Structure formats: structure tokens, C-alpha cells
Chain A
Amino acid sequence: MPKTYAYYPGCSSMGTSAEYDRSTRAVCRACGIDLEDVHDWTCCGSTPAHVTDFGLSGALAARNLVQAKSAGRSEVLTPCPSCLKNMKAAQHHAHDPVWGPRIERLLGRKVPEDMRCASVLEILFRETGAEGVRALVKKPLTGLKVACYYGCLLTRPTALMEFDEPENPQSMETLLAATGATVLDFPLKVECCGASLAVVRRDMVQQLSGRLLDTACELGADVLSVACPLCQMNLDLRQKQAACRRQTKAAVPIMYVTQLLGLAFGLDEADLGLGGLIVDPRPVLAGIGARSEEAADAPAGGQDDAKAVNSGRAE
């Protein structure tokens, strides 16, 4: 019997990253990865708790591990690297002489020790892998030029995340290459996009995000593939701001890796939430359609709309 993973959607799944949540569920279903939502899950405390007190952060994150454990699960999967980092940090801090006892006092019980936590990228890489992806591809992404962007947290800190290479990870490239896409060598794949400063320091985030977007465009990327809701929202939402400041006209769609995999698997677009993206990916995706047989089915009106949105963004 396949293992069932406890699934922790995280708060942004209820708003800004709903399409990540949807596409994660759809792709896991297609790959035969069984997900069960953590019952009555609560916020992991995110960066604000982590920068306030490791004890508070640990207790808030660990409550969800307790919930998963009492449902009989042994591994939690979450799409959000920031939530993942907090859960892993809670387990790590549980052994710390200063923070361990404090976490337990604040939580009112022990932190489950034998619980594993992983990102959706890690589980897809581990369970499905390139071969599994190849077997599921129905609409190859042939010709689509993809730059893979991991952001800061998926692979770092190394001791905590225990996944892929900290400075030059390859898991996303491996999975996407198996869909037939052309994977570019993106040198800024683990550079910070500044998302955590987005609300308060617009100047800083524009500088950091702008450099990433410019480089992706210079490399000729059709899309940037991401695996973090904070990076996605930051890069997608701020392209116009960043472009104005840096005087570029770049508008590159920022897609979740799960959306790209889902497209290659031929999953329903509605299940992948493509409509939730701000820089519309349909014009570049229509290009792949033309290269395979699907072109005739693409609704012409939809494409025109998409172009209008895109040129509007690039002004």
C-alpha cells in the first residue's frame, strides 16, 4: 500500500498561493502520492515568529507535527519552504538546551521526534523522479526554455534541510528536463529574492528581484520555475515595479514547478490554477502547443486577452 503523507498547506495557500496548493494536489494525485490534510492545521509562525523567539516559533510549528502524528502519519509534506524550515527548526531546537524546554513548555507537550518533513519538490524527486515523470508525460514541454529558481530556503541551511546541493541544486532541473523542456543554467538559482522584506522595504526587494528577473530574461528564459509561494508572489507581483525601477521591459511568467509538471502530464488547466498567475503564461505555452498537436484547441480569445495582460505588464 502506498504511504500516505500528512499534507500541510500553509496560510498562503488560502490566499496568495492558492494555485500552488491546487497544482500540488493535482500533480501528487497524478503521481500516486497520497496526501491527507493535517487536521485543523494552524500557522507555523512563519518568519515573524522565527525572528521573535525560537521557542514561540518552535511551539507554533510543532503543534502541526503533533496533529499529524496523532492522525498516525510519519511524514509531513508541505509546498512552502518557509513552513518547512520552521517545522524542521522546531525539531532541531527540541534538542537545544536553551530552546528545547521552552518549546515544550509553550506547546504544553513534547515535540514529536520521529516525524519527517519534506517539501513537495523533494517528495516528487524521491518518489517519482525523472523516470516516473517521463512515464506520465502526455504533452511534452518541448522547446520551452525554463530557468529553475529555488530561492534561499529549499536547500539551506544544509544541516537542517538535508536536500540537494546547497549552492547548485539540480532536482528541479532533473524533473523538468524529463518533461522535454529545455532547462537553462540559471546562475542565480539560490540567490535571495528579498520576499521577506517585501512589505516594508520596497527599495531592497526591487533591487534583489530585479536582478533575478533581468538575468532570466537575458538568458532567454520563457518561464521561471519556482517552488516557493513567497518567491512566486514576490517575483510575479512585482515585475512591473521592478521593471520600472530598472527600466527593463521584462515580463517573464513565474510558474510553480507543479504547474509545469501538471501541464506536461496533460492535467486540466483549471486544476493547475494557471489563471491565478499575474504574468500570463499562456502566450509562451501556446508556443509549445504549436509544436505539438494541441494548437488547434487553444481558444483564440483567451490568447488575445493573455497578450493584452502581458503587454500591459511590460509597459
Chain B
Amino acid sequence: MKTLNLGESDPRFISEVEQRSGQKISRCYQCGACTGRCPNTFAYDLPVNRVMRLIQLGRREEVLSCSAIWLCAACQACAVQCPNEIDVTRVMETCRQMSAEAGLVSERAIQVFVKSFLGSVKRNGRAFEPGLMAGYMFRTGRFFTDVDLAPVMLAKRKLAFKPHKAGNGEVADIFRRYEEEGPVSCNLESDHA
């Protein structure tokens, strides 16, 4: 089991998040407007303004292991609200990417879904909805939460039966180059003074 030192502060963290997200997080003055507008605060372990504050404080592990960054629906409501024109959604998305790269994912089911989806795209060039669900169930070892919806979807011909192949290998090439390159942080100079 992983132990967290919650008080530990990493001064490079804010500059890393700022570079990757292109957002000036240091400008946040904790007005709370983002949290006020966020529809998911009820389910978050950390409200979004608190995530912003912890980034400023360099609390890398605490931020990258929180569930809020995974439960964010990327709805952009916070980004529209921020008086300092911080694209808060992009900051949340950036933290989620960094959380996966650092192996600090708190919401495993969501990460598994993301991987199943991308696997399907890599193989076929297009997303194939039923194959995706099967892969997700297989890897979480958990029966699809929406299995009660499948008969309705089948009756309405909402599920295609065969994957549609497209892209003539170009999509697989994009994935291959992505895997070869590794996470973007490797190419980042985090020269924080």
C-alpha cells in the first residue's frame, strides 16, 4: 500500500502543470467561482478550487492521486467562470494525464475504460461500441453497469455488430509513435528557479 506524505511540497510541480496546460495557475486567487459552478462537486474528494490551491502549493501526490481529476466531466463550466481566465478544465485534464503517467490513478474503472476505448481505436481505426464494452467488462472483472440497457439498444439497432475498419493502418501508426515516444514530460525541461 502506498503511503502519502501530505505535507510534502514539490516546487517543480506547478511549473510542470503550467507548461503542460499552458495555463497561469499562479494567478488563481481562490475566489471559488469554479467550484460554485461545478456540477460534480458533490462527488469530488477535493473541490476544484482546492485542486488549484494544492497545485500552487506543490502537493504533487495529493493532487495526482485525488479522485476529482478523474471524475471531472470536462464540461468547461469552471473555465467559463474563472475571473482570471484560467482554463480550469484543461488544468484538470492535465492533472489526469499526469496522474496516469505517475501511476497514481484513484479511479481505476475510468482508466480501464479509457484504455479499452483507445485499444479499440488502435485496432480498428474507429471506436466500436460493443467491443469496447466487452473489453471493459473483461478487464475490470466487473459486469457492465448498463447491462440492463443492452436489450433496448439492440431492439433499436443501436449497437453495430461488426467493427468498421478504417484508416489503412495510419491510426495504428499514430499509436505506435505515441508508445515509442513515451509520456510528454520526458521532453519537458522543468527549470523552475
Contact = CB atoms under 8 A, between A and B. Distances in A.
Interface of A: 11-12, 14-16, 18, 40-43, 45-56, 59-60, 63, 96, 98-99, 102, 105-108, 152-153, 156-158, 166-167, 190-192, 194-204, 207-208, 233, 237-238, 241, 275-278
Contact of A96 (B22, B77, B133, B181): B22
A48 B117 contact: yes
B74 to A, nearest CB: 7
A40 B167 contact: yes
A94 B159 CA distance: 35
B102 to A, nearest CB: 14
A142 B153 CA distance: 31
A98 B22 contact: yes
Contact of B170 (A42, A102, A156, A278): A42
B18 to A, nearest CB: 10
A286 to B, nearest CB: 20
B184 to A, nearest CB: 6
A204 B75 contact: no
B134 interface: no
A237 B153 contact: yes
Interface stretch (B3-11, B24-32, B55-63, B121-129): B121-129
Contacts of A167: 80
A306 to B, nearest CB: 14
A9 to B, nearest CB: 10
A106 B177 contact: yes
9 contacts: A43-B125, A50-B74, A96-B22, A98-B184, A102-B184, A105-B177, A157-B80, A200-B107, A201-B71
A102 B181 contact: yes
B84 interface: no
User: Lowest 4 CB-CB distances: which A-B pairs, in order?
Assistant: A156-B76, A192-B75, A152-B75, A42-B167
A207 B44 CA distance: 14
B118 interface: yes
Given A156-B80, A207-B42, A42 B171 contact: yes
A192 B76 CA distance: 9
A170 to B, nearest CB: 16
Given A50-B93, A56-B174, A63-B170, 5 more contacts: A46-B127, A49-B118, A59-B178, A199-B133, A200-B113
Given A47-B74, A192-B39, A192-B73, A200 B109 contact: yes
B163 to A, nearest CB: 9
B181 A60 contact: no
A199 B146 contact: yes
A52 B39 CA distance: 22
A196 B92 CA distance: 15
A254 B25 CA distance: 39
Contacts of B170: 42, 63
A208 B42 CA distance: 11
A98 B184 CA distance: 8
B153 A48 contact: no
B121 A43 contact: yes
Contacts of B152: 237, 278
Contact of A53 (B40, B125, B158, B183): B183
Contacts of B193: none
B189 to A, nearest CB: 11
B73 A51 contact: no
A59 B79 CA distance: 24
A123 to B, nearest CB: 21
Nearest to B69: A51
